[in-house]
Amino acid sequence: MLKRRMLIMCIISTMLALSIGISAKADEVQTFINKENGVKFEFTSEHFVKPWITDENQIKERTSDISKGIFDAYAKSKTNNLENIDKYLKSQGFDIINPAGIIEDSVSDEVNIYEPSVYYDPATGLYVLNASFKWKRDSGGIPYWRYDFNAPGSVGGLDGIGLWIGNPAGITLRSNMYLVTYDYNLSQYKTSTPWNWNQYGVAFKSQDKCWYDNVPGLYNYNWDSGTLVVWISVSGTGSTYLKTTLGHDWNTTQLQSVSISSSGLSFSFGTGNNYWQGTSLPYTWSR
Measured in whole angstroms, how far is the alpha carbon of residue 115 from the centre of its chain?
10
What pLDDT score does 214 carry? Answer: 76
Cα gap 251→217, rounded to integer Å: 24
Q: Say whether both 113 and 181 belong to one domain.
A: yes
Q: Say whether both 143 and 39 belong to one domain.
A: no
Q: 6 lies in a domain?
A: no
Q: 81 lies in a domain?
A: yes
Q: Say whether both 60 and 122 belong to one domain.
A: yes
Q: 1 lies in a domain?
A: no
Q: Say whether both 36 and 163 belong to one domain.
A: no
Q: Report the share of the chain in percent with pLDDT over 90.
A: 67
CA atoms within a 13 Å half-sphere pointing along the CA-CB vector of 23: 18
**Residues contacting 243, CB < 8 A, separation 6+:** 115, 116, 163, 164, 166, 264, 265, 279, 280, 281, 282, 283
pLDDT value at 14 more than 50: no
pLDDT value at 192 more than 80: yes
Cβ atoms of 33 and 40 closer than 8 Å: yes
Q: Say whether both 42 and 75 belong to one domain.
A: no
Q: Say whether both 117 and 42 belong to one domain.
A: no
What pLDDT score does 19 carry? Answer: 40
pLDDT in tens, 99-153: 987 666 656 688 999 999 999 999 999 999 999 999 999 898 889 999 999 899 9
- Strand pairing category for 239-249 and 225-234: unpaired
**Number of neighbouring beta carbons within 10 Å of residue 215:** 7
Q: Say whether both 205 and 261 belong to one domain.
A: yes
Confidence of residue 168 (pLDDT cuts 50, 70, 90): very high
Q: 11 lies in a domain?
A: no
Confidence of residue 219 (pLDDT cuts 50, 70, 90): very high
Q: 107 lies in a domain?
A: yes
Q: Say whether both 185 and 278 belong to one domain.
A: yes
Report how many domains make up the chain: 2
Q: Say whether both 158 and 263 belong to one domain.
A: yes
CA atoms within a 13 Å half-sphere pointing along the CA-CB vector of 43: 20
Q: 164 lies in a domain?
A: yes
Q: How many residues does the chain have?
A: 287
DSSP label of 143: B
The verdict on whether omega for the bond into residue 216 sits within 30 degrees of 0, i.e. cis, is: yes
Q: Say whether both 132 and 80 belong to one domain.
A: yes
SS3 content of the chain, % helix, strand, coil (to 5): 20, 45, 35
Higher-confidence residue of 287 and 20: namely 287
What pLDDT score does 119 carry? Answer: 96
Cα gap 223→225, rounded to integer Å: 5
Task: Tell me what the pLDDT averaged over the chain comes to.
Answer: 84
Q: 9 lies in a domain?
A: no
**Number of neighbouring beta carbons within 10 Å of residue 151:** 8
Q: 157 lies in a domain?
A: yes
Cβ atoms of 115 and 101 closer than 8 Å: yes
Phi-psi domain of 86 (left: phi exceeds 0; alpha: psi -120 through 50; beta: other): alpha
Cβ atoms of 114 and 100 closer than 8 Å: yes
Q: Say whether both 63 and 142 belong to one domain.
A: yes
Secondary element (H or E) of residue 99: none
pLDDT in tens, 257-269: 999 999 999 999 9
Q: What is the largest CA-CA distance in the chain?
A: 84
Higher-confidence residue of 37 and 112: namely 112
Q: Which domain holds residue 32?
A: 25-50
Q: Say whether both 262 and 240 belong to one domain.
A: yes
Cα gap 79→57, rounded to integer Å: 36
